[in-house]
Amino acid sequence: MGSAPERKTLRIGVDVGGTNTDGVILDPLRASDPDKGIIAWHKTPTTPNPSAGINDAIMTMFTSAGVDPDQVASVTIGTTHFVNAVVERDAARLSKVAVLRLCGPFSQ
């Protein structure tokens, strides 16, 4: 009989700010521990390409804490960087986009 598969319990949070990108890996099952379940954290200057910075933060935390990505239940990304660009109407950090929605009535 094989061993039971590991449960996905870890949570990742990343915030891309105007200055820094901050990441954390939490184990909510260890929230009452002195470290509050924080397994890894990472802070780095925000990169011109936020996606690259998010990837770098997550991969750095995986490596530093020896975390297997298969243990991760969710990833939450906060984009203060985006909100700042919109509020400041900074065309250098924004691109024009369009959304096209094709569907029937909601009641269908």
2 has pLDDT over 70: no
**36: number of CA atoms within 13 Å, CB side?**
5
User: Quick one: what percent of the chain has pLDDT higher than 70?
Assistant: 84
Q: Which residue has the higher pLDDT, 88 or 42?
A: 42
User: What fold characterizes domain 10-93?
Assistant: Nucleotidyltransferase; domain 5 (3.30.420)
Is the pTM of the predicted complex or chain greater than 0.75? no
Give 77's strand partners: 14
**pLDDT surpasses 70 at 101:** no
pLDDT score of 47: 87
Contacts 24+ apart (CB under 8 A), 65-72: 65/25, 65/39, 65/40, 67/10, 67/25, 67/39, 67/40, 68/6, 70/6, 70/8, 71/6, 71/7, 71/8, 71/9, 71/10, 72/8, 72/10, 72/11, 72/12, 72/25
Q: What is the mean pLDDT of the chain?
A: 84
User: Which whole number is the average pLDDT over 79-86?
Assistant: 76
Model pLDDT for residues 35-62, shown as the tens digit of each residue: 899 999 999 998 888 889 999 999 999 9
